[in-house]
Structure 1
Amino acid sequence: MSLVEIPGSKSVTARALFLAAAADGVTTLSRPLVSDDTEGFAEGLRTLGYDVLREPAAWRITGRPQGPGADGAEVFCRDGATTARFLPALVAAGRGTFHFDASAQMRRRPLAPLTGALRDLGVEVTHHEREGHHPLSVRTGGVEGGEVVLDAGLSSQYLTALLLLGPLTRTGLRIRVTDLVSAPYVEITLAMMRSFGVEVRRTGDVFEVPAGGYTATAYPVEPDASTASYFFAAAALTGRTVTVPGLGRGALQGDLRFVEVLERLGAEVQIGADATTVTGRELRGGTVHMRDISDTMPTLAAIAPFAAAPIRIEDVYNTRVKECDRLEACAQNLRRQGVDVATGRDWIEIRPGTPKAVEIETHGDHRIVMSFAVAGLRTPGTTFDDPGCVRKTFPGFHQAFAAWARQHEG
């Protein structure tokens, strides 16, 4: 058995940074993820006039319930979707004009449902090039509140941004959602808002968020469940046993449900109070629905050729509008490896085969790299055209994974 320490959750770190910036008082985040995405979020807060003190094991953020202190600030969001979607919502509650831009990759990703909702709430949002995309400016005198209708069928981050904004409005928000993908990420948001003193009431597809603001707190960041998926998949693929501490029955992140998928496909899984263990057995085929845990779709797709029967992954259309079209990127790379693959609008089916070693086309997507690195345990010689893009969420991935693999060889 091997014990694997996983870096802090990207999703939790980003939400905690927003909440800490908006809260009354000083918040201490312990074990936050240090990566390009989270550093970009913290840098964006500093650009907006927030005090963010980074120490090795903790970050301290002094909240500004009144909003940003740097009217006219220009924020570059890098590749970070949470930065690019959450910060415009944060500044909407303040006063002034704020400008946002992002990398070419992030400029391609859609924002229209969120910025449309902000406009419906009276915020002036200007898209400077392509409507519904970065770059953009937000001109605001604060948000009164009220009711808004939102389509979160492409990303749950649109809903999270509005939920986080709600307590900063003058009268609160009532959000009616017409479609929602990756629902477990919304549960993370609601649980974290509760930790900062706000209780959201949900009735079906309607979320009622009270006004009143947030209260600073000490907040520990749990390990990243999406990152853990690569080590769980490695166990499933190699017959080893992997235990990840810090992710157990009380974990916030829905992506821990990836181990349930592995269990259905033959792995042995034990979820304890504060740790999860996966032991590999023969990988079976089957059909799985991954709408709510779609960030782990590439993890399963990459190892699927080693199953005894075809694996079909369904209801993952939203993976087409991530850092790249992940569904198509997985299909193309698997075909280049000589694997028989079929795809549709929102599904991919991978048939058993023996993948050959090729250079994986990553499309600058960290999850493509990490997923095919797992499969590389059974396909020696696999390389990547951009291995460094893992810095987005796990800068030390290659070293950590190589160390795990060496331990396995020993």
Structure 2
Amino acid sequence: MKSDRAVVTGRGTVNAIAKNVKEFSTALKAGLCGIGPVSLFDTADYRTHTGAQVRDFDPRRHIPENYALKRMSRSDCMAMAATLEALSDAGLTPFPIELAAHTGVVLGGGAGGMLECEPVFAAYLETGADRLPGSPFAAFSCASSADHIATHLKLMGPKTTFMTACSSGATAIGYARDLILQGAADVVICGGTEPLCRITYSAFNALQAVDPDYCKPFDRHRQGLTLGEGAGILILESLGHALKRGATIYGEVLGCGISCDASHMTAPAPNAAGAVDAMTAALDDAGISPEDVDYINAHGTATPANDRMEVLGIKTVFGRRAQRIPVSSTKSMIGHTLGAAGAIEAVACLLAIEHCFVPPTIHHETPEDGCNIDLVPGVARDVVVDRVLSNSFAFGGNNTALVFGRFSENGGGR
């Protein structure tokens, strides 16, 4: 039973088209593409060479001098930069020490500090050393980003890291909402972070799931996803706490649905049963019907199987309305950021609510047969958006759907 409501009072992001939320809003409206040649590592031996890389990212432009970057990976730094922006956005800078015992950190991720560890492994293999040096592995763990945030802010509330592949960031937000509703925390820093790295790039190339050019979600000529990187962070608060301190409220996490396909390790269930279960559960949890949703932020990876499954799932849940509701994939601009995807897309959903627009699906030119839904191709659309359904469908059949709503005193659900 809900004891309170989980509202969003702060947002932060670093991604391929923006270094902060204001830039992100502008870039989404403009339909900017962050996909280009990868320069973080040599891609000469791969079948593809592009990615949605965060370019010219200097942690010191975002993170104060008193933060020790020496033991922080690129993933940690992106998470910290987005967290500090979100805290500032929430009016929690400097962070009030009296909140430390009642503030949690819940992040999603995947590769963690692997980018920094890969050269160490390579050197070890080349030199035939007896043992690996320990120091570079301080930031190896996917959990280190949450650890750094909690340590630097001296937070003593719940701290958790989720690794459910491409739904990790969304799962983290759903769990953070649960902590708020259960009264386990007054404030939760939540979201996800993910770096580009060689092992991830190699794996998706081996699966032949990557488009050699740029991803084209839901397009007949799509050839796969484009890997990306970045971080997205939300500050969730109980409504009572937010109102008490006079915080600006950007929206509310109305519902969360989680399911498992129990079908295949990398391919979605063709009948979309898991996706349908997650979307239906999220709507039920939010207390709304399909008619109440104004926009769907699709998982939209541009892999043939996933896009086909998601269209089927949307049609199953939304019926005839599936052809009228705007649906778009922001991955067409920022790439697939894996563990951070659901979190960065959550920031996009809240911007859509705040500024009344639907981000476009760029690179979408030729729908395939049966894909007769409104994919907002090419150009953003001015629409009053009060409620958004955001989908994250991951490897292993780990599905999470979130519902975000415009804040109102009377509540965003029925």
When normalised by structure 1's length, the TM-score is 0.28
Bigger strand fraction: 1
User: Which structure carries more relative contact order (alpha carbon 8 Å, separation 6+)?
Assistant: 2
The structure with more radius of gyration: 1
When normalised by structure 2's length, the TM-score is 0.28
